[in-house]
C-alpha cells in the first residue's frame, strides 16, 4: 500500500464533517489551500524515504495537502521521500 493510499482515507474521514461557516460560497466555487511539510526520520528509513540532504539525517518524509475550505474536503494528499521537489508533484 502506498503512503498516499494510507493517508487519504484517514485524513478525509477525520475532517469530512469540518466546514467553516462563511459567506464566501456566493463569491467562489472553491477556496483552495495548498501546503506541505517535511520532517526527518531515523536513518533506518533511508531506503524508503530518502532525505533532502540538508541535514545530518539521511531519511525524511514530505507530506503535501490541498484542502478546499468551502467544502471541507481534501483535494490532494501525497506523502513521499523528503527529497521531493513540490513543484514536480502539483
Q: What is the pLDDT of residues 5-55, one digit of tens each?
A: 555 565 556 555 556 566 777 788 889 999 999 889 999 998 888 887 766
* pTM of model > 0.75: no
In a domain, 11, yes or no: yes
In a domain, 70, yes or no: yes
In a domain, 22, yes or no: no
- The DSSP line for 24-87 is GGGT-S--EEEEEEEEEE-GGGTTTSB--SSSS-SEEEEEEEEEETTTTEEEEEEEEETT--GG
The count of domains in the chain is: 1
> Which domain does 10 fall in, by range?
3-17+28-88
In a domain, 66, yes or no: yes
In a domain, 23, yes or no: no
Amino acid at each position: 500500500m502506498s503512503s498516499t493510499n494510507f493517508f487519504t482515507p484517514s485524513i478525509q474521514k477525520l475532517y469530512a464533517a469540518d466546514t467553516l461557516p462563511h459567506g464566501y460560497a456566493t463569491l467562489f466555487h472553491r477556496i483552495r489551500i495548498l501546503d506541505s511539510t517535511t520532517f526527518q526520520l531515523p536513518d533506518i528509513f533511508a531506503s524508503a524515504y530518502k532525505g533532502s540532504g540538508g541535514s545530518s539525517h539521511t531519511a525524511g518524509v514530505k507530506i503535501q495537502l490541498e484542502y478546499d475550505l468551502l467544502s471541507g474536503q481534501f483535494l490532494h494528499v501525497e506523502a513521499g521521500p523528503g527529497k521531493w521537489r513540490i513543484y514536480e508533484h502539483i
